[in-house]
Chains A and B, each alone.
Chain A
């Protein structure tokens, strides 16, 4: 069964304290792994797409990596404005899209 699982469910960090968010996936024929940021009461904002194991992409304090079973979103020296829910989604070979439940990140000044 196609499935995407994110951990942890919630994460509290001190400003400047780097950490990683995990997205484990079990899908048939991964075509793309997406990361989004979602602020409360708003739609997701696109961050990255990863296509193959070993691929990495960076944007400011965020870096996304992909293996054959999971993806990580590394946050380096986070700031309070990085507080949000981070979602990952996997696109299957059959062109279905499965989202994880997200990691709610809180960065404390």
Chain B
């Protein structure tokens, strides 16, 4: 149980385009979903927390107009990277929790974004 999927697993796009990443909880209802970014050899950085039906809460330094998060249902959250630039190239990972807490959050497999 507690499976979280992400789509796509990898994406390459041109600078200036927008990219949408989906995060789905397959076998449970996720009250809360978290979005992380991981640069090579760096720690996982929390970008934002989203609760179903409400606006996402962004961590300090994360541009909410650039990283649009929608949590439209208890099983789906999307992250849209708008006007992507090469510095946005990273590994984006989502996680889902049914308890609105970091405890027992289940991670997706991640999405590798490369912006040319």
Contact = CB atoms under 8 A, between A and B. Distances in A.
Contacts of A91: 102
A102 B43 contact: yes
A31 B94 CA distance: 22
B107 A44 contact: yes
Contacts of B106: 46
Interface stretch (B14-22, B70-78, B81-89, B108-116): B108-116
Contacts of B95: 43
Say whether chain B's binding surface is mostly helix, strand, loop, or mixed: loop
A79 B66 CA distance: 43
Contacts of B102: 32, 34, 89, 91, 97
Contacts of B43: 4, 87, 98-102
Given A87-B44, A99-B43, A99-B45, A46 B110 contact: no
Chain A CB within 10 Å, residue with most, of B44, B59, B112: B44
Contact of A43 (B46, B59, B93, B103): B93
Contacts of B6: 43
A97 B103 contact: no
B104 interface: yes
15 contacts: A4-B43, A32-B102, A42-B109, A43-B107, A44-B44, A45-B107, A46-B104, A46-B105, A87-B44, A91-B102, A97-B102, A99-B44, A99-B45, A101-B42, A101-B43
Closest 3 CB pairs of A and B: A43-B107, A99-B43, A99-B44
